[in-house]
Chain A
Amino acid sequence: MSDAQFVKVRYKLTEKVAQAGGMTAGMAGERAGRELKAQREEAQRSLGTMLGALEVMNRERTAQPTAVYDAATQMVDIAGLFDMKMFCDAAYSLSELTDRLRNHGRQDWPSIGVHINALRLIWTKDEDASEEVKAMVDGLWALTDRALEKPPAA
């Protein structure tokens, strides 16, 4: 194995960011927040469509865990850009559940179904961070944590 080399790099970004002009970080954050607000409705619709696809998978129960995983992570990706913490947390739990299941060659539709129902509820409430919703998301995580303790379905 050859020795590691250390290279000093100066990014062009460093010079450009420090140039005169621009705006304060506070103003940039506010402007970006306004841009995001204009797109939130569209994102909410898109999440609804993704949830619909997951509901179909749950009804038919023929999809592979990877398909559910991909759909769940896509929801994390979209909801995560809007800082939708509860929805994101629930979708993250579903991603974690299906990741564990696929790594062990297992499937657990009842647990997946509970997640999908919870996601639909949070989606309907449009990011209601009440204690009830938090408790529900904690429950999803408890389900995910215990997912591999159950014996595989015959």
Chain B
Amino acid sequence: MALDPRIRINLERSAILVVDDNPSALEVQASMLRGFGVRRQLKCGSAAEAQHYVASQELDLIIIDAAMPDMDGYDFVRWLRREAPEDKRYTPVLILTGHAARGMVEKSRDCGANFVITRPFTPEVLLQRIFWVAKDERQVVVADSYVGPDRRFQNIGAPLGQKGRRKDDLSTHVGAATDPNMDQMDIDMLLKPQRASL
């Protein structure tokens, strides 16, 4: 769903780090952010430099290319979520991907980024994802095999026959309803405050 063009968004005071090993792509992304009104942009060409920025700067968002030599974008996010200074670990991250090589699909799913943006994309799509991050209310999951925003956008409970891992997961499978649905008047009566007789 496209972002409503009337929505106001203020990125003037946000500090955004952009990481891409391709200088032309880096410049293009920076120019989009300039258009969005971002005044404080930090740019670098490698994940190693980005690690330095994470340690030394206050960042509100990181936008990183997935495919880079040495440490790629996915490995950077894994590092960020597990080994970065504790107060920086959950800094939101958008990953930009081009071609999704077969070997990278699981890595992408498991790295812990907030959102993945697939090229080609328009400035509107980038702005929308930034807005999604700002409105992202998902909890961060910290587990042995994954650290990052909950990948389940809807909590529909644990898979059938399995014990849920969330505190609020039901402890048993409830099954399909057997009684007919209550009508609205019955529901209203249940919720209606009534004088208690003691």
Contact = CB atoms under 8 A, between A and B. Distances in A.
13 contacts: A6-B139, A6-B150, A13-B61, A17-B10, A18-B10, A23-B37, A24-B5, A24-B8, A80-B121, A88-B119, A92-B99, A95-B98, A95-B99
Contacts of A88: 119-120
B55 interface: no
B116 interface: no
A36 B67 CA distance: 22
A7 B147 CA distance: 10
B115 interface: no
Contacts of A31: 34-37
Interface residues of B, number: 66
Contacts of B24: 42-43, 46, 78
Given A9-B90, A13-B61, A28 B9 contact: yes
Contacts of B58: 12
A145 B33 CA distance: 37
Contact of B120 (A2, A24, A32, A84): A84
Contacts of A108: none
Interface in A72-98: 72-74, 76-85, 88, 92, 95-96
Interface of B: 3-14, 20, 22, 24-25, 27-29, 31-37, 58, 60-61, 65, 67, 90, 92, 96, 98-99, 101-103, 118-124, 126-128, 130-131, 133-136, 139-144, 146, 150, 165-167
Contacts, number: 200
Contact of A82 (B37, B120, B141): B120
Nearest to A19: B10
Q: Is the interface of A mostly helix, strand, loop or mixed?
A: helix
A36 B31 CA distance: 7
A95 B99 CA distance: 7
B68 to A, nearest CB: 10
B28 A39 contact: yes
Interface of A: 1-9, 11-14, 16-26, 28-36, 38-39, 42-43, 46, 69, 72-74, 76-85, 88, 92, 95-96, 99-100, 103
A21 B166 contact: no
Given A29-B127, A31-B35, A7 B139 contact: yes
A38 B96 CA distance: 22
Given A14-B134, A14-B135, A32-B123, A7 B166 contact: no
